[in-house]
Amino acid sequence: MPLQKRNNQEPQGHARDAQSDGPDQLETARYVAALTAELSLMARRAELPLLSYFLEMARMEAANAAQPVRRAGKATRERQPPPEKT
């Protein structure tokens, strides 16, 4: 079955700002993080280590996207470089 060329326009009334950090985007990221955590555990129990690994990477990315402070590029205390010694 050949792939169809995708139209870049969304249906009328469903247009979204690509930079939007609204509640829908945050809630979606949280949902994806929870879902991929469960799927990763299922894959691990089924002895599918590579699949489990990829799902865990997806979970970590979704969890990171669900934290608006970190997405804004602000370094947290753990991520800041250590102070220089003089």
Range of the domain at 65: 23-71
Closest CA to 64 of 34, 29, 39: 29
Model pLDDT, residue 13: 45
78: tokens are 């753990």
On whether the CB atoms of residues 24 and 66 are closer than 8 A, the answer is no
For range 59-76, the mean pLDDT: 76
30: tokens are 């949280």
Residue 14 confidence class, pLDDT cut points 50, 70, 90: very low
| 10 domain-assigned | no
Model pLDDT, residue 44: 97
32: tokens are 């994806």
Residue 67 confidence class, pLDDT cut points 50, 70, 90: confident
Domain total for the chain?
Answer: 1
| 62 domain-assigned | yes
